[in-house]
Structure 1
Amino acid sequence: MAVSWQLSGSYFENCSCDVVCPCLMSTNAQLTSKPTKGVCDVGLVFHIDKGNYGDVRLDGLNVAMFAHTPGPMAEGNWTAAAYIDGRADDQQTEALGAIFTGAAGGPMAAFAPMISTNL
């Protein structure tokens, strides 16, 4: 049985493209446009105001994710890394790892098949 989870908080994202990311803001299908510099280096930072993974509380923790895509995101072959708050205990680290790798389902699960290297 899948573990129920929920997060709420703040999120910030920035990539290496010029001005507006063509992967997300284009007349083409999402993630299919070529990044303006040919590759995409993106950082995503999350602060969890309130959250849980089953009975594990995640309030106040942070996660930073970084990815490199060698071309249009939808083509895959991403290299990605998730950095979990050092204040997290073992259960919280495991929970956040499951959420942010997509193993627990949710939004990140859509990106998981495109990641070929997890650092």
Structure 2
Amino acid sequence: MVCTYFFSGDRPSEADINKVMNWYTGGIHKVYFLHIDEYRKVAKEIGMSEIKIIELTDNILLNYLQLWQKMEQIQAEEQLWSQEFFDKKKQRLLDCCEMGKSGLIQWGILHFRK
């Protein structure tokens, strides 16, 4: 089982979680912002052992900027999406970049084995 986490280190305060959710205009639900320990707890409960953690926080900005650039290219060439959809998606991607730069979220992959 491989899963992605958003928080590690100190547990974020409720205010920090709300700040992230309010900042992100995509309407993401709080359940998607899990601390790394929550994943470890679930894995242990279902009999899985942790293999390794791949820390990818430094890639948040790069990944979302690359996605935005690709979407801009596709939109310029093919007008695949409505302008309204494209503008909303662009803002969501930029919001994710800002959250990564601010340190409000961390990102990585947890690898577990049964």
More helix by share: 2
Instruction: Please say whether Structure 1 and Structure 2 have the same fold, judged by a TM-score greater than 0.5.
Output: no
Higher relative contact order by CA 8 Å / sep ≥ 6: 1 or 2?
Answer: 2
Q: Which has the larger radius of gyration?
A: 2
More strand by share: 1
| TM, length-normalised to structure 2 | 0.29
| TM, length-normalised to structure 1 | 0.28
